[in-house]
Amino acid sequence: MLQWLLNIYDRFSTRRLWLWGCFTTLLIPLLVLALTLRYNEDIMDFLPLEQADREALQVVQSQQSASRIILIIEGDSLREQAAEVCTQYIPDLQTDSDPTEQLQAIYSLLPYFIPDSVYSCLDSLFTRQAVSRALQKDRNILSIPGSGFLATAIRYDPLGLFPLRDFEAHLKNEKRTYAFYDTPYGSTETQKNAALMDSLEHVSQTVAQQFPGLSLRWIGAPVIAVKNAQRIKLDTLLCISLSLVLIIALLAYAFPRKRDLLLILLSVSFGWLTGMAALRLFTSTVSAMVLGIGSILIGIAVNYPLHLLVHQRYTTSVRQTLQEVLSPLVVGNITTVGAFLALVPLKAEALKHLGIFASAMLIGTIVFCIFILPHLMTVRNVPIREIKIPLNLRWLTLQKTIIALTIALSTYLLVSHFLTEQPPLFNSNPASINYMSEQQRKDITFFDSEMNPQRAIHTHKDRANLWHDYWNAHNPDSLIHLIEQEAVQQGFRPEAFTPFYQTLTSWKPAQTFDFSHLTNTLNRDFGYIGIVCSLIVFFFLWLSFKSLKVAIIAFVPMAVSWVWIFAVMRLFGLQFNIVNIILATFIFGQGDDYTIFIVEGLLYERRTGKAILPQYHQSILLSALLMLISIGSLTFAVHPAMHSLGLITLIGMSVVLLMAVTVPPFLFKFMKI
């Protein structure tokens, strides 16, 4: 392959017009495809959902009013001002602030609220005498002026199985009340809901000015989705901008010639364009977070032009540079692309898209570096000098035995102490990586714990079975007939308690979606990524070096790195989630590049006697700094998903770099290669 690529370089060297014609022909459709790609901000794209899971989640969202926005009205003079606020502002937004709607939601889940102890005395409550007393009490309540709210409760629970004391206490809270508004756009239309939220926030500001003692806040799934979308956009812009600025600054420092810097930017830009165009062939819409993660990919893609331009300083011709660098460059690209392609078969749409984008971006970058960049490079007629970075890794090579033994001992201690207890946990709940302000978290926690009837589904799942078991052993029709007879005696209409009758005869448990079951999927996906990436990398290392021993030397640093990564995560209590499991692809994708160059340098020095590791150390060091910058930019993200990915990947890549430059030289000597 090396000779074939060199022949292509030689052919295009004398046919530049053909070269630029082919490049332009390729560039135009890439631009057209990339410009038609659209973006969304739905974190749910990272969930590994089966089709059945998606359908179940849609049902649950419809049951649990996923499109509902909850208005929290809070203040010292709530009774006097809340009614005026709702009358003046809320109706304009089609808001229903009637608390009976919340009450109906509670009684639709009545079996979840009946304590287990009640079932032991239910038989005594269903006698004619007990039913008569309960209905007499209901009639007395309805005779009280202003009892419309309790009339709803009586229709659903005429026998008083569930006391309303707790719920009434919150409704009578002097300083807080709630209103509910269903957005017509659903919970996932973030662009339309963003405009709606602007209107709602304007209402809050207007109320705050007119009623200084009153505050309006908004919570609910649509609100969280909008805030996530806005945060993802800001963090994506922040991370990519910060990454580009710092990378350009470092490259400008390392490469005094502006031409070199421009060539690197052209290479990465062409790769980015290729990645976006490839995505457009598979989908019309992609998560904006995928492109936010692209700030890390910049750190990987920049390696290819970087190695060529750094090595050019030590050769007398571009062709010699290609001859000495192309082999590790191409092998590293194949293994890296293979690692990212392992994401494509996964169920999560965002991870599929990331696999396609990353693979195409790296392929586009290497294609530019192999076929276009060499014809733009020039050999300077000045003495060769080191890149202006006052560090090198030579001391690591000189102390390789001591360092390698220290790593081996540390690895043993880490395995015995941190990995024997329990592997790092997988957090499958997307709520844990949603962006919310501290006030929103407090409001949601309070509402869910005190006011949200859906909480009963998760805390008392077994009560649904108790309800069904009881009525399977008793005849609900006889109780219904008894209530109807007594209702007429007490002056009620026979159909007055129809909602309660429906609960007795046809009530079914509400569907729930337990995200914890995704933990098994995440474990399986992570195991799949690890195994597939390992096989791909090891196979191409073996194929490239044509030696099992050399392939093992190049692969061991990545295996040892994973031991350290898991141990460090256990030490600091870090978790994998639906986003940062792609760490595996970055580790295998970038880590093998470092080890390939080190092993290639060791083989080259043994074969020729020419010291080439100092050059490789310089390019690896600069590459690592660029990679750490691109990863480090994600740690500045406020969104939890992007921040966790940046933090864990930063730890992982630091470990991989240390292993890549220390383990291979020791193994090379130990295995007598």
Residue 362 has pLDDT above 90, yes or no: yes
The pLDDT assigned to 224 comes to 83
**Of 160, 65, 75, which is closest to residue 451 (Cα–Cα)?**
65
Q: Encode pLDDT of 514-531 as tens digits.
A: 566 666 676 777 777 778
How much of the chain, in percent, has pLDDT values that exceed 70?
A: 75
According to the model, what pLDDT value does residue 280 have? Answer: 92
Q: pLDDT, tens digit, for every residue of 242-282?
A: 888 888 888 777 777 788 888 988 999 999 999 999 999 99
Cβ atoms of 587 and 652 closer than 8 Å: yes
Which pLDDT score, from 0 to 100, does residue 384 have?
Answer: 37
DSSP 114: S
Alpha carbon distances (Å) from 459 to 255, 321, 422, 502 = 61, 66, 27, 24
pLDDT at 272: 92
What integer is the mean pLDDT of 362-381? 84
pTM of the model as a whole: 0.68
**What pLDDT shows up at residue 356?**
92
Helix axes 303-312, 318-341, angle to 10 degrees: 160
Q: Which of 400, 410, 408, 409 is nearest to 662 (CA)?
A: 400
d(CA 67, CA 656): 45
pLDDT digits (tens, 9 = 90+) for 180-233: 677 777 666 677 778 888 877 877 787 777 777 777 888 887 888 888 878 878
- What does the alpha-carbon distance between residue 620 and residue 594 come to, in Å, rounded to a whole number? 7
pLDDT at 544 > cutoff 90: no
Which tens digits make up the pLDDT trace of 490-501? 888 878 888 888
The pLDDT value recorded for residue 33 is 92
Contact 673, 606 (CB under 8 A): yes
More confident: 417 or 6: 6
Beta strands at 68-75 and 214-219: parallel, antiparallel or unpaired: antiparallel
* Cα–Cα dist 236/633, whole Å: 10
Any idea which of 188-192, 418-422, 542-546, 669-673 has the lowest mean pLDDT? 418-422
pLDDT band at 387 (very low <50, low <70, confident <90, very high): very low
Q: Residue 27 has what pLDDT?
A: 92
- Whether residue 69 has pLDDT greater than 50: yes
Q: Residue 599 in contact with residue 550, Cβ under 8 Å?
A: yes
Q: Inform me whether the pLDDT recorded for 360 exceeds 90.
A: yes
Chain-wide mean pLDDT for the chain?
A: 76
Radius of gyration in angstroms for the set of CA atoms belonging to the chain, rounded to a whole number: 33
What is the structure's pLDDT at 565?
80
Burial group, residue 646, by CB count within 10 angstroms (0-12, 13-18, 19+): buried
pLDDT in tens, 298-327: 878 888 898 888 777 777 788 888 888 888
Greater pLDDT, 508 or 174: 508
Pick the most confident of 100-114, 460-474, 603-617.
460-474
CA distance 274 to 660: 30
pLDDT at 389: 46
What is the distance in angstroms between the CA of the first residue and the CA of the last residue of the chain? 24
Question: Which long-range CB contacts under 8 A does 603-612 form with residues at least 24 apart?
Answer: 603/545, 603/550, 603/673, 604/324, 606/673, 612/314, 612/324
Between residues 176 and 338, the one the model is more confident about:
338
> pLDDT (tens digit, 9 = 90+) per residue, 77-89?
555 566 566 666 6
Distance, CA of 487 to chain centre: 56
Q: What is the crossing angle of helices 2-13 and 318-341, to 10°?
A: 120
pLDDT computed for residue 561 by the predictor: 83
d(CA 584, CA 581): 6
How many C-beta atoms surround the C-beta of residue 438 within 10 A? 7
Q: What percent of the chain has pLDDT over 90?
A: 6
Joined tokens for residue 119: 């079932």
Structural domains of the chain in order of their starting residue, each with its CATH number? 2-47+227-379+394-432+515-670 (no CATH), 67-102+165-219 (3.30.70), 115-161+474-512 (no CATH)
Task: Say if residue 361's pLDDT is above 90.
Answer: yes
pLDDT at position 145, please? 62
